């Protein structure tokens, strides 16, 4: 009885009330990474949006879309670490965010993967941002698949 507190299983976005501790910790790690990489994208793309705003230029919808998807992702990652949130809410929204990140990666990958930076720091930054988009896309795929697998289990 003295160790009964250690046998208690936390709830998370991955299971109802009986998520094993390793899955709970994995969920927290993945959600933390989603938050960090989403904030990274907000910073990388937000620089260009801020520069355009200061120079009274138009806001490119591609950059605004990337920041919007990253903002949704950051907010979602924060919400999903709330205990007792049922996982079936998570896997559907994870799948939607995966699709949104796939579009971001496709848009900016087409623009920058094959671009020759030739010392242009702005292009190098955007080439790096494309790979961060890919990481975001894969993180949301992993958490979505985990949610579906645990739902069907």
Q: What is the pLDDT of residues 15-36, one digit of tens each?
A: 445 667 888 888 889 999 999 9
Query: Is the model's pLDDT at 146 over the cut of 60?
Result: yes
- Classify residue 7: in a domain, yes or no: no
Q: Tell me the per-residue pLDDT of 67-123, one tens digit each, with 9 for 90 and over.
A: 999 999 999 999 988 766 666 667 899 999 999 999 999 999 999 999 988 888 989
Give CA separation, 28 vs 12, 14, 59, 122, in Å.
9, 10, 35, 33
φ, ψ of residue 120 to 5 degrees: the values are -80, 110
- Classify residue 47: in a domain, yes or no: yes
* Triad 128, 66, 68: Cα angle to 5°: 145
User: What are 145's two structure tokens?
Assistant: 């698949």
Query: Is the model's pLDDT at 37 over the cut of 60?
Result: yes
Residues spanned by the domain of 39: 12-152
Q: How many domains does the chain have?
A: 1
- Classify residue 6: in a domain, yes or no: no
pTM assigned to the model? 0.83
């Amino acid at each position: 009885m003295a160790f009964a507190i250690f046998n208690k299983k936390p709830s998370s976005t991955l299971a109802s009330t009986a998520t094993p501790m390793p899955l709970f910790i994995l969920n927290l790690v993945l959600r933390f990474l989603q938050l960090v990489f989403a904030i990274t994208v907000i910073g990388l793309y937000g620089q260009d949006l801020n520069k355009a705003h200061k120079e009274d230029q138009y806001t490119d919808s591609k950059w605004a879309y990337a920041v919007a998807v990253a903002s949704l992702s950051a907010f979602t990652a924060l919400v999903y670490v709330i205990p007792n949130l049922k996982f079936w809410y998570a896997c559907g929204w994870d799948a939607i965010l995966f699709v949104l990140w796939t579009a971001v990666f496709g848009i900016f990958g087409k623009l920058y993967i094959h671009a020759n930076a030739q010392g242009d720091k702005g292009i190098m930054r955007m080439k790096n941002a494309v790979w961060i988009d890919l990481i975001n896309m894969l993180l949301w795929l992993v958490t979505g698949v985990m949610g579906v697998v645990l739902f069907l289990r």
